[in-house]
Structure 1
Amino acid sequence: MASLFKKNTFTIKIKSWEYWPMWILYVPVFIQHFWLAIKARSLFFFLNTNPGIEGFILSDSKYKTLKLVPREFVPKTILVRPESSFEEVYGMMGEEQISFPIVLKPDIGYRGLLVSKIDNQSELKEKLKNANINYVIQEYIDYPIEIGVFYYRLPNNISGSIPSVTLKDFLSLHGDGQRTFQELVYTNSRAYLQKDKLEEKFRAEWGTVIPKGKTILLEAIGNHNRGTKFINGNHLITENLQQVFDELCKSMNGFYFGRFDIRTRSIEDLLLGREFKVLEVNGIGAEPTHIYDPEYKLYQGWKDMLSIWKISYEIAMVNRKKGAAFPKYAEAKRRWDSYRDYKRNAFLASS
């Protein structure tokens, strides 16, 4: 069985475009970008889409962007710097009344890298032992539904639009009373792509038969790179949902474009603007992640990506007319260099 899946791993990724390398998926967007850059007379027009967020494509500070969100919708969160001692970190957690379990993640993220759910003090101490980047510690929100909502608003408009809603199906195994943990992983292509990590994490259960009807959550972090299945939730786009996000975003100065990653008690609660928390706000580098639904067609995904990037251009142009100048090359390079150095340190920390 193992050899069969080893031979098919490449086939799984080729047949499912959700796993293709980003540089391939974004070829149409790169081409469109250069055309829009010619029209804008700036390669870096996109840095003007959200004037309230300083960063490059994927280098928004999670901590700073969450500060833009009304406090009642944000989990208790602290920023941890590399020079902070564990005693200082634990003291800050106490001051903010953050208790375990928690989520630890880099302040500038990269596709789920170094994101962990931490259950106790010793685990946190071990994770922070060799920290060389800024981290965010966030209380774990134990709501059953995680959802991504993409929202944008043209600066001259009172209300905005929601072009993308994504439901997240966390990586899990469902026991049948016959197959072992390992066999269930090997016969689930999404789980199999995480096989090495799962074998290490669930070493004690690896050879045991999972009882019929038992469900085991394999990954608590809702990231595509960690095995989460993204499901197109655009049927949930309603006037009510738009009004919830119009209200949420009206006090977010300098924010016009991005995706909110949210945990909520229920879809009904979210539509009523209650019982939800914003885990992250992703700015100019945000994707309309509903396109990674396995049933979604590649051509439709490209169409949606091109539409979203054109909107970022339109917002940037309105901001320029309102007096926000496009960043010069030196400023764009400074932001890129900062992101590159941060990403390098993050990869070093993960090795």
Structure 2
Amino acid sequence: MMHVVPGTVEVVAAGVAGAVDSGSGTGQVPHQGMPPLDESGAPLSFFEFWPMWAFYPPVFIYVLWLMLRYRGILLPTAANPALPGGGFVGESKAEILRLAMRHASQWVAPFIAIDRPVAGDDRAATLDAELAQALVSLQQAGMGLPVVAKQDLGCRGAGVQLVRSVDKLRSYLAAFPRGERLLLQTYVPYEGEAGIFYCREPGQDKGRIISITLKYFPHVVGYGHRTLRQLILDDPRAGRLPHLYLGRHKARLEDIPRAGEAIRLAFAGSHSRGAIFRNGNALVTPQMEARFDAIAHQIGEFHFGRFDIRFADFARVQQGEDFTIVEANGAGAESTHIWDRGTTLWRAWADLMRQYRLLFQIGRANRDRGFKPLTWSEFRRWHRREKALTPLYPATD
């Protein structure tokens, strides 16, 4: 840990499996390296963007039954002893990435962690000084712009931005809550992204992949005479979700893209922020399972969670090669393949219930091994902090 003025910067860097471009990352073919995206049929499922209070009650009721069945309200917080709280609540992205970097560095995108100073800690501290230190730390880590800026604590893609310039980095720092930690991570400029959900029960030698989510970034293509606003509103899917895209592109809405020019509408691989999710469960291979099982074993006491990866070619991922982990999530992760527009409501509920049953089984097994879940007061404190911070983060790209 390096103590600097005005904040604290931690550098975690290593080689990345696969090429990482330090350039602009422009000129990419939409969905390059991904399995073909089937856009026939309905663009959305009828429940895909229901509010949480409408979608989750059956799952919550089932979880209450699991709490009684396994005699533990907070057993999920014991699922991953390697992580504070099992990664179920209050999960630090830096904490889990640091663990992965320590034991499987060739698969993880390098990053630095920056602790913004609290107001009044040092009256001489300025935003310019923070920016200068961040740039020095990036250089020391062998990193440069562009980077992905993200919050350390939070979920659902909150506060994720692609930072290509010094001015953008300055703006991001200025908008980020004081006294909190942010990450700057090497930008992996591939269109291919997926969420790989891994599970291994304590006492078992081998784990398995229980879910694959293929993440497609939505694009519209210019005609040379229609504005970006018109292209978004006329798109079969984006036109039904204008609240996700119009505000994000407000500075360009009246621009007229060239004929054939592809405009990417979302950067973060988050469904709630506008990415398109497809079920890739049928694409699991033994080589993939062996690779992610090895990574999880190297982390140690990691039994349940999701690895978000980027790659140039999914066929190579199926061989267990050439991907980069950009984020890892513990017990609080979700099997996001359920947000495929072809998933039925009953199947989505059933898959989440299966996930939580596994989670409670693993938590109970670890409790029996001597690992303690969080106390209720610890859980409540972490949960409140996470909820309070989420609306304070900068807008997501």
TM beyond 0.5:
yes
Q: Does the 8 Å contact 1:194/1:226 carry over to 2? A: no
Alpha-carbon distance, 1:184 to partner? 1.3
Q: Does the 8 Å contact 1:145/1:264 carry over to 2? A: yes
Q: 2:246 aligns with which of 183, 187, 198?
A: 198
Note closer, same or farther for the CA distance 1:176–1:73 as it changes in structure 2 (3 Å cut): same
Q: 1:87 aligns with which of 132, 139, 164?
A: 132
Alpha-carbon distance, 1:32 to partner? 1.4
- Within-5 A mapping of 1:197-346: 197-198=245-246, 201=249, 203-204=251-252, 206-208=254-256, 210-211=258-259, 213-333=260-380, 337-346=381-390
Note closer, same or farther for the CA distance 1:173–1:14 as it changes in structure 2 (3 Å cut): closer
- Within-5 A mapping of 1:158-177: 158-177=205-224
Code of the residue aligned with 2:246 in structure 1: it is: L
Q: 1:182 aligns with which of 229, 242, 255?
A: 229
Specify the alignment match of 2:105 in structure 1.
Answer: 71
Code of the residue aligned with 2:79 in structure 1: it is: T
Alpha-carbon distance, 1:202 to partner? 5.4
CA distance in 2 between partners of 1:312 and 1:324 (Å): 15
Alpha-carbon distance, 1:123 to partner? 0.7
Q: 1:27 aligns with which of 44, 47, 57?
A: 57
Note closer, same or farther for the CA distance 1:200–1:306 as it changes in structure 2 (3 Å cut): closer
SS at match of 1:262: strand
SS at match of 1:250: helix
Q: Which moved more, 1:137-146 or 1:337-346?
A: 337-346
Cα distance per residue 1:302-341 (max 9 Å; x no partner)? 11000000000111111122111333323333xxx23422
Alpha-carbon distance, 1:299 to partner? 0.6
CA distance in 2 between partners of 1:178 and 1:129 (Å): 37
CA distance in 2 between partners of 1:288 and 1:280 (Å): 15
List gaps (5 residues or longer) in structure 1. 1-11
Q: Which moved more, 1:178-187 or 1:190-199?
A: 190-199
SS at match of 1:68: helix
Code of the residue aligned with 1:112 in structure 2: it is: G
Specify the alignment match of 1:131 in structure 2.
Answer: 176
SS at match of 1:162: strand
Cα distance per residue 1:42-98 (max 9 Å; x no partner)? 211111111111146442111111122211111111111111822222221111111
Code of the residue aligned with 2:385 in structure 1: it is: D
List gaps (5 residues or longer) in structure 2. 1-41, 118-128
Specify the alignment match of 1:105 in structure 2.
Answer: 150
SS at match of 2:167: helix
Structure 1 length-normalised TM: 0.89
Code of the residue aligned with 1:22 in structure 2: it is: M
Specify the alignment match of 2:31 in structure 1.
Answer: none
Structure 2 length-normalised TM: 0.79
Instruction: State, as a whole percentage, how many aligned pairs show the same letter.
Output: 31
SS at match of 2:267: coil
Q: Which moved more, 1:132-141 or 1:175-184?
A: 175-184
Q: Which moved more, 1:153-162 or 1:56-65?
A: 56-65
SS at match of 2:387: helix
Note closer, same or farther for the CA distance 1:215–1:322 as it changes in structure 2 (3 Å cut): same
Q: Does the 8 Å contact 2:245/2:266 carry over to 1? A: no
CA distance in 2 between partners of 1:96 and 1:209 (Å): 37
Cα distance per residue 1:206-260 (max 9 Å; x no partner)? 252541x332212222111221100111121122211111111111122100111
Code of the residue aligned with 2:116 in structure 1: it is: P
Q: 2:78 aligns with which of 44, 48, 63?
A: 48
Note closer, same or farther for the CA distance 1:209–1:105 as it changes in structure 2 (3 Å cut): closer
Alpha-carbon distance, 1:349 to partner? 4.1
SS at match of 2:84: coil
Q: Does the 8 Å contact 1:198/1:218 carry over to 2? A: no
CA distance in 2 between partners of 1:99 and 1:43 (Å): 45
CA distance in 2 between partners of 1:203 and 1:108 (Å): 29
Higher helix share: 1
Q: 1:121 aligns with which of 145, 166, 189?
A: 166
SS at match of 1:138: strand
Note closer, same or farther for the CA distance 1:220–1:80 as it changes in structure 2 (3 Å cut): same
CA distance in 2 between partners of 1:345 and 1:255 (Å): 26
CA distance in 2 between partners of 1:155 and 1:243 (Å): 17
Cα distance per residue 1:241-292 (max 9 Å; x no partner)? 1111111111112210011110012112212332211111111111111110
